[in-house]
Amino acid sequence: METPGQKAAAISDLSSYLAAQDSHFDPWHANIGKFLTGQMPEKDFISSAQSDAALKTNKQLCEAYFFSAAMRDLAGDKAGAADLYQKCIGTGLQDFSGYQIAKARLAAH
């Protein structure tokens, strides 16, 4: 089990890495980093994956649901995580790793 200090250190390390690599990330991957480090609320993160361009493949929406579900899972919100894992599966991207992990996590709930 992680301690609050470990979580803070991990967020700090990820934030430092992302800041150093900022010019190398496309906007979507930058949004993932912002979400994972708490700089972007879940609602905004999912909304950013629902743009017309992103929805052409559903990949970003699947990722947004997956990462959001994983963060809720880590926070102990099992019901919220299950709902988002189900939405990830609902994108139908069976060959995407997030889809497969979402199915496994739902089976474990």
Short-list 93, 96, 61, 66, CA closest to 81? 66
Residue 1 has pLDDT above 60, yes or no: no
The pLDDT value recorded for residue 51 is 78
Q: E strands within 2-86? A: none
pLDDT tens per residue across span 5-44: 776 777 677 777 767 666 667 788 888 989 998 999 999 9
pLDDT tens-digit profile of 57-93?
788 999 999 999 999 998 999 999 999 999 999 999 9
Residue ranges per structural domain of the chain: 4-108
- Read off the amino acid at residue 90: G
- For residue 25, give every residue at least 6 positions away whose Cβ sits within 8 Å of its Cβ, in sequence order, or none: 18, 33
Query: Token pair of 83, please?
Result: 């709902």
Q: Where are the beta strands (DSSP E) in 1-109?
A: none
% of the chain exceeding 90 in pLDDT = 50
| 46 CB-near residues (< 8 Å, 6+ apart) | 61, 64, 65, 68
Averaged pLDDT of the chain: 85
